[in-house]
Amino acid sequence: MNRFSMSRRDFVRLGAGAVAAGAVVKTTMLEPAALAAQTAPSRRIRFAIVGTGIRGCDLLRAARQVPTGICVGAADLYETRHQAAKEAWGGDIPTTRDYRVFLDSKDVDAVLVATSDHLHRRVTLDAVAAGKDVYCEKPMSHKVADGLAMVEAVEAGKRIFQAGSQRVSSILYAKARDIYASGRLGEVHSIDAQWNRNSPGGAWVYPIPADASPQTVDWDRFIQDAPPHPFDPVRFFRWRLFRDYGSGLGGDLFVHLLSGIQVITGINTVASRAYSSGGLYHYKDGRDFPDLLETVYDYPSANGGIQVHLHCNQNNNDADERISFFGSTGTMVVTGNSVTLTPQDVTPRFESYGWNGMTDAQRKQGMDEWRAAHPAPPLSMIEGAVETYTVPRGYDDAADHIANFFRAVNTRQHVVEDEIFGNNAAIGCHLANYSYFHRTVATWDAATKTIKG
């Protein structure tokens, strides 16, 4: 069955537990357009993938659902992952440790980059120099200078570049963007986003394979562009724990949340300043990064400014992924698979609390004046107003994101998450880390394109 063949289903539920008792909730199942119809397959994009670990294999599995692309090769530094790549793609493909063989080939149109963060820059610059279009996993950059160099190279080479925060291609985020743009939230100056986990996997304590050795792992290529270090399988397979290769909670989770906020609000810029707090409370396994990180950002916006509060906790999973937009006339909450819009009741009504400290005569006079000014008070509009939108079970925004990239490679038209967008989101996580590690407010100096303390 086509995974998008589900017909539209609107239904109404009374008294759903997630919202105020008595409120009527209208739930709508969002209906994805078929991937095949979204794209114009004048030709299949031939892509090579660099990095076929956890994400690279997931990308290959997602790409199998996209008829406009075909994998023509995979590179990985750990020998055993060559077989993992073939299994993920579901067929035999050429594999190598050295991705440059694919850059030399005229049969490769595009490169998917799913290496550890610190090698995004090198692989992207090499691919762009070879005339390839690039899909690069998030966070786009490991350092601010990396992202700036990538933007410059992509623009100079007139390449298509897509950063890999797949939610920006999600039908759910498109719905949230429509609600935000409709003005139904009123003035939004406050956004709160969180992503909590409470498991070793959620804290990046990934398995170290028994066959990991200097023979099966190309360690020298791994520590290119990083400080010299003797072979260490923990550093190779759990690189997210170390600042030499990874970007911590900022690069792993904040960047998804910031990308979501950017695409929903349309604010495609860098925060002017950020302040982080947090700590390493549980996973004292030699890692460099905190397992709890909270950051407050100031974002410039047309309405005078937006405060964004991000928090990720690897010691509690009370709430998974959630972004809340607090507006003067409504609140919108975006979770992994639903958007909920709860209008605020801003119906004019008699202000009763302040009259408690007045005399009976004063209160009566106030009430009489209010009634005279409001001869027919409007009914409260809160009842029946809550709307939720959900995606079908099994909906995969990664496939939509890859389809979006292939379409742009074909048409040479805009991608949803280009190098500017991806770089802005990545700088957001660098601001958070800078503030945390320097114990200072981090400010973004747009003139020099640097972070200052």
Q: Which residues bind ligand NAD (CB under 6 A)?
A: 50-51, 53-56, 75-78, 81, 99, 114-117, 119, 137-138, 164, 166, 221-222, 239, 252
- Three-class SS state of 373: helix
List the structure tokens of 346: 């801003």
83-120: b (≥16 Cβ within 10 Å) or e: ebbbebbeeebebeeebeebbeeeebbbbbbbbbbbbb
Amino acid at 7: S
Nearer to ligand NAD, 166 or 265 (CB): 166
**CB of 441: closest distance to ligand NAD in angstroms?**
26
Nearer to ligand NAD, 191 or 398 (CB): 398
Q: Which of 333, 313, 312, 309 shows the shortest CA–CA distance to 323?
A: 333
Block residue for tokens 């996973």: 283
**CB of 225: closest distance to ligand NAD in angstroms?**
9
Nearer to ligand NAD, 77 or 403 (CB): 77
Nearer to ligand NAD, 189 or 221 (CB): 221
Going edge to edge, which strands form the sheet with 24-29? 10-14, 24-29, 386-390, 338-343, 330-335, 321-327, 188-196, 306-313, 292-299, 273-279, 442-445, 450-452
**CB of 136: closest distance to ligand NAD in angstroms?**
8
**CB of 183: closest distance to ligand NAD in angstroms?**
31
**CB of 185: closest distance to ligand NAD in angstroms?**
27
- Say if CB 59 and CB 114 are below 8 A apart: yes
Q: How many residues does the chain have?
A: 453
Q: Which of 148, 249, 162 shows the shortest CA–CA distance to 203?
A: 249
436 contact partners, CB below 8 Å, separation of at least 6: 276, 277, 278, 290, 293, 295
Going from the C-alpha of 348 to that of each of 23, 184, 325, 428, the distances in angstroms are 20, 17, 23, 40
**CB of 15: closest distance to ligand NAD in angstroms?**
35
Nearer to ligand NAD, 285 or 298 (CB): 285
Taking the C-alpha atoms of residue 261 and residue 271, their distance in angstroms, rounded to an integer, is 12
Nearer to ligand NAD, 116 or 196 (CB): 116
Nearer to ligand NAD, 116 or 170 (CB): 116
Nearer to ligand NAD, 142 or 342 (CB): 142
